[in-house]
Amino acid sequence: MTPFGARLVAVVRAHGPLCAGIDPHPALLAAWGLTDDTDGLDRFALTCVEAFAGQVAVVKPQSAFFERHGSAGIAVLERVLAALGESSTLTILDVKRGDIGSTMDGYADAYLRVGAPLGADAVTLSPYLGPGSLAAAIRTAEDAGRGVFVLARTSNPEGAQVQLAALAGRTVAQVVVDDAAARNAGADPLGGTGVVVGATRDHGLDLSALHGPVLAPGLGAQGATPGELAGLFAGLDGVVLPAASRSVLAAGPSVARLRAAALALNEEIAAAAE
């Protein structure tokens, strides 16, 4: 299978960089006039699929809002991933998994191996048992042509206490970035080990050697604007995927309005980058 980095570069070239979130939390279900159960979840999620598939580069379902409905919610998530997999749009499943040994192998089997039941094009991972603890999962992803996005400098204020802690002259966040850069070295056109760096503040990271993708949450409802992206990620060797959820999903439940909101934001991002 074509490596994730190459597939990502191609789809961003075709559709622009926006990563549209699918976050069916209770308030949004209510705003759409839907019930907070698996029927409402299914209608919400598949409406998003209809609006975004083949229209934006990347879609990011938030696993927690499917998991809260139990096994039936996970079944909806499987349908969402399968439906998006039939389009040109790539998927990043936001699960933030991170563990060691056989437990991490289990997560890799669930999300990353060939034929994984919840297989997405990429997943988010937490490195706070040590970046090396993710090695087996990253190898599994590479073998399947999938990617990972490792939490580095997240958009929540509480993250600073851990992520900005000093470690041998580097912040913990920079250690995560440097580990990803080492894994991506030599990949053509980009490696498949990305990092998560929030777009809501100056992150203070050196991304010049990353040679991979950055998932940048915080666009829209969290306060980040398209005009700020170029300055925040100047010098990056890679591609930025600005992620927006609530600011786009507020346009629902109309498929046409959802799609229009995503495309308008995508155009605004492109215009700001010129």
Report pLDDT for 168. Answer: 87
Please calculate the CA angle 16-248-84 and round it to the nearest 5 degrees.
60
- Sort strands 238-244 and 212-217 into parallel, antiparallel or unpaired: parallel
- Chunked in runs of 10, what are the mean pLDDT values of the chain (274 residues)? 96 97 97 98 98 98 98 98 97 97 96 97 96 94 98 93 92 97 97 95 94 92 82 94 95 98 95 85
Bridge partners, residue 192, by sequence: none
253 upstream amide cis, omega within 30 of 0:
yes
CA distance 55 to 87: 9
List the domain boundaries for the chain.
4-273
Report pLDDT for 187. Answer: 97
The SS3 call for residue 179 is: helix
Cα–Cα distances in angstroms (integers) from residue 8 to residues 2, 201, 243, in the given order: 10, 25, 15
Rounded to a whole number of angstroms, the CA Rg of the chain reads: 17
Residues labelled catalytic: 96
CATH superfamily, domain at 4-273: Aldolase class I (3.20.20.70)
177-198: per-residue pLDDT in tens?
Answer: 999 999 999 999 999 999 999 9
